[in-house]
Amino acid sequence: MTSLSFKSPWLLLGLLVLAAAIGLWFLAERRRARYTVRYSNLDVLATVVSGRTWLRYLPSMLVALGLAVLLVGMARPEVQRTLLKERATVILVVDTSRSMQARDVKPTRLGAEQEALRTFLDEVPRNLRVGLVVFAGEAQVATPPTKDHELVNTAIQDIDQFLVYGGTAIGDALQTAVLLGRQVTDLASTDQGSVTLPASNHSTRTLAQAAPACGDEKSPVSILFMSDGAQTRGLLQPLDGARLAREACFPVYTIAVGTPEGVIERGPFGGVPGAPQDAQTIPVPPDPETLRAIARTTGGEFSEARTSDALKRAYSSLGSRLGREKGESEITWLFVAIAGVLLLLATAIGTFVSPRLP
């Protein structure tokens, strides 16, 4: 239920003045009615006036209602609604490692993620900046934070270009996302749609020294991290990367993709997909506990998706919330517009209808 509040509630006292004026007018009308009506035939007068008396008072009623609405508008009413955060940015971090080719989530874990990412882009506000980081054995920036969601969608469609069969570096991917988010908060101009990435130092020490003190105000940057959660490579451990995000005040929303029955086939030549002979089946169960710990450490949320539909639902839910915050929006203009319509209607009725009444 939407709540209504006022920036200048004391101006609502004007409604009492209006009510008093209406009361005085009503008393004056009743007092005038006490006088004897001189007319040659009262029955004829009653027949003429009957059924149309209310039209005589309709303009006055509309004027009173219009003034009441205008007085409410002068008190500057506000409603609570979900608004886009200033410089709101979501950094998408997508695992493209070999284990994401498992088919326990149809068509594959990575394919289901691509479809769900498109759902996410459909749900988010148009002015939300979205960046994309892909990782396997190392992390790469696919698109810097931008309001051009079509550019991000194109990168998602071409995500196979970033496939690197060299393990899963979760901690390093988090570090890359945090660095990207820090560049947004420090260097982004509010009148530009994307962020130009300067030369940067990826060291943990530099990021930690640059981290702000988190206050009550929420950061405009959120990280959405999708993986099967099993770290096999990288310089930073997952929780070390999570601590960098916490120090930067960036909540990380993690989604664990896959089922315990997930497997991939490894060919005789170092893991070539679709090997025709001597294929080896390798179990690749997800590690939801790691992703749950990352979300808990950073103040984000953890979701688990074992089917493509569950993955889409998770993305749709996050897409409708990330980058937004509850705020108050002034609607004075609405009350002024309604008051104007009522006053114009009262004028029209008073001009074209009331003079014709006897």
The one-character DSSP state at 112 is H
Task: Give dist(CA 248, CA 245) in Å, integer.
Answer: 5
Task: Give dist(CA 155, CA 138) in Å, integer.
Answer: 17
Are 108 and 230 members of one domain? yes
Are 133 and 17 members of one domain? no
Start-to-end CA span in the chain (Å):
48
Are 261 and 202 members of one domain? yes
Residue 113 is part of which domain span? 86-322
pLDDT in tens, the chain (358 residues): 457 788 888 888 888 888 888 888 778 777 765 554 555 555 555 555 555 566 677 888 888 888 888 888 888 888 776 655 556 889 999 999 888 889 999 899 999 999 989 988 888 888 888 999 999 988 999 999 999 999 999 999 988 776 555 789 999 999 999 999 988 776 544 444 444 444 444 444 444 444 455 655 567 888 999 998 778 888 899 999 999 999 999 999 999 999 999 898 876 555 555 545 556 888 989 899 999 999 999 999 999 988 888 888 877 777 666 655 666 677 888 888 888 898 888 888 777 765 554 5
Are 46 and 171 members of one domain? no
Are 42 and 61 members of one domain? yes
CB 165 within 8 A of CB 85: no
- Paired residues of 302 in beta bridges: 254
Are 279 and 349 members of one domain? no
The secondary element (H helix, E strand) that includes residue 177 is: helix 170-187
Nearest CA among 93, 135, 96 for reference residue 273: 96
**Residue 255 identity (one-letter amino acid):** I
Are 350 and 306 members of one domain? no
Are 166 and 315 members of one domain? yes
Are 164 and 220 members of one domain? yes
Task: Give dist(CA 5, CA 8) in Å, integer.
Answer: 9
